[in-house]
Structure 1
Amino acid sequence: MSVPQANRVTEQLTRAGQAIEHDSFAIIDAEAGPHRYRAEQWPIVRRMIHANADFEFNGLTDFHPDAVAAGIAAIRRGGTPVVADVEMICSGLSAPRLAHFGMATHQFISDADVIAAAQAEDSTRAVQAMRKAHRLGLLQGAIVGIGNAPTALIELVRLIREEGVRPALVIGMPVGFVSAAESKDLMAAQAEVPWIVIRGRKGGSTLVVAALHALLALAEAAERAPA
């Protein structure tokens, strides 16, 4: 589905800004040409390309069959937490867009108890931050965005498999050279929780933000659609 002009909350705030964004999307559509994505998936891939002008995400981005529907449903439900691996994702998300759906962000990477646990167990802060989110009950039904730390995604897969954690959607896009590609393959190999991943080494927090903003726009469009 394409995002209609009727969107207000998830659009740019000025007509000039809206025109630039819409023109950019039109250029991406034209240059990308035919693609394998379903109609509801393409707005997410397109916004990711828009975020960094890299057309390789047309192909590298992969979706669980239920990912988009699950993400839209979680957003429209209202109050769904967004759990991130790093503060950059929380800072990058539009506060007014989140507020429209009653959503709040959470990240624990720099918490003193997370650092202490990582040092004591010789693990990573990202692992301990996911465990803290689980202890606080924030992962169940959440949208989880991971753009920096492969170990966070690996730990989340473990929590799904071994402890029955069930986020509404996982946007798994950690970037890097050590375990990044492998962590996304692990996520995509499980079927219990819907996911969106970028295959290979590429990724990053900016792309998680782009994917979430696209989902927020799709949720607003669904909200405005005739019953």
Structure 2
Amino acid sequence: MNTANVVTEQLTAAGRAIEHDSFAIIDAEAGPHAAYSDEQWFIVRRMIHANADFEFNGLTEFHPDAISAGLAAILRGGTAIVADVEMICVGLSATRLAHFGLFTHQFISDADVIVQAKAEATTRAVQAMRKAHRLGLLDNAIIGIGNAPTALIEIVRLIREEDLRPALVIGMPVGFVSAAESKALLAQIDDVPWIGIRGRKGGSTLVVAAIHALLGIAESRQRNAA
């Protein structure tokens, strides 16, 4: 009987060996991580693997319901993953998404988004989130923001002012203007689950890593339930 993940692992034995050796090195060098549960560490470790930056052991924060909410959204199938930039959608494994019936969306370069951003003197990222909301894609979705702090600020506004209820917000925008502030706002949200990073660090690769880690945990849950 198979006791290992198949869909969410590297496709070759050599690739799996390299990845598993990398995780072993991270575990050996990371130092204490008692602040994280086993499943939270599974996510943080993959984020470290994506950037070779051990500061994410400590900078990464989880809403108490983040893991359970993310897994429920993945395992129910048909869940939308809405990203602030195309890089996240491209970085996610199509095979892994298809296994769970997940679909990605991003609108940052849509012509109407650009026109509206210019008309309202806002950013494309803000208008892209508003477009996703108008299309009914954000409620019950996994929202991944790795590039644009203004997108995350808009999501927080929609949660507070328009009763938006995504399944999970993965808020990890990188940068020097409003990045740390946007993530601090996210950390104040109690009624929507989130995963975030304190400070300026972040990036789309980290959002991809976090989602891939959640997919790996979800496959383990599927396999154990079979």
Bin for the TM-score computed over the shorter chain? over 0.9
Q: Which residue of 2 aligns with 1:26?
A: 24
Cα deviations by residue, 1:123-152 (Å, 9 ceiling, x for unpaired):
000000000000000001000000000000
Residue of structure 1 equivalent to 2:67: 68
CA displacement at 1:37 relative to structure 2: 0.7
1:200 and 2:199 matched = yes
Alpha-carbon distance between aligned partners in 2 of 1:153 and 1:28, rounded to the nearest angstrom: 29
Aligned AA (2:200): R
Match for residue 13 of structure 2 among 15, 39, 49: 15
Q: Distance in 1 between matches of 2:131 and 2:105?
A: 11
Question: Structure 1 vs Structure 2: percent identity of aligned residues?
Answer: 79
How far apart, in 1, do the equivalents of 2:90 and 2:197 lie? 21
Q: Give, in whole Å, the separation in 2 of the partners of 1:57 and 1:190.
A: 21
Two-structure CA RMSD over aligned residues (Å): 1.0
Partner residue, 1:183 = 182
Amino acid at match of 2:5: N
3-state SS in 2 of match to 1:41: helix
Q: Which consecutive residues of structure 1, in runs of 5 or more, have no partner in the other structure?
A: none
Q: 1:27 to 1:73 in 2, by over 3 A?
A: same
Residue 214 of structure 1 aligns with which residue? 213
Structure 2 residue 162 is matched with structure 1 residue 145: no
CA apart distance, 1:78: 0.2
- Detail structure 1 runs of 4+ shifted over 4 Å in the superposition: none
Structure-to-structure mapping, 1:1-227, within 5 angstroms: 6-35=4-33, 36-226=35-225
Please tell me the residue identity of whatever aligns with 1:21: E
The amino acid that maps onto 1:11 is E
Structure 2: 5+ residue stretches without partners: none
Give distance in 2, aligned partners of 1:192 and 1:114. 29
Give the TM-score, by structure 1 length.
0.97
Distance 1:83 1:221 in 2: 24
Determine helix, strand or coil for the equivalent of 1:225.
helix
1:39, 1:78 → 2: CA distance?
24
Which amino acid is the alignment partner of residue 131 of structure 2?
Answer: K
Paired with 1:33 and 1:117, the residues of 2 have a C-alpha distance of 48
- Offset of residue 33 of structure 1: 2.4
> Following TM superposition, by how much is the alpha carbon of 1:226 offset from its aligned partner in structure 2, in angstroms?
3.7
Deviations 1:126-179 (A, max 9, x none): 000000000000001000000000000000000001111100000000000000
Cα distance in 2 for residues equivalent to 1:194 and 1:5: 30
State the alpha-carbon separation in 2 of the partners of residues 50 and 140 from structure 1: 30
Matched residue of 1:144: which SS?
A: strand
Q: Give the length in aligned residue pairs.
A: 224
**Residues 12-42 of structure 1 deviation map (CA, whole Å, 9 limit, x = unaligned):** 0000100110110011011112212111100
CA-CA distance at 1:5 after TM superposition: 5.2
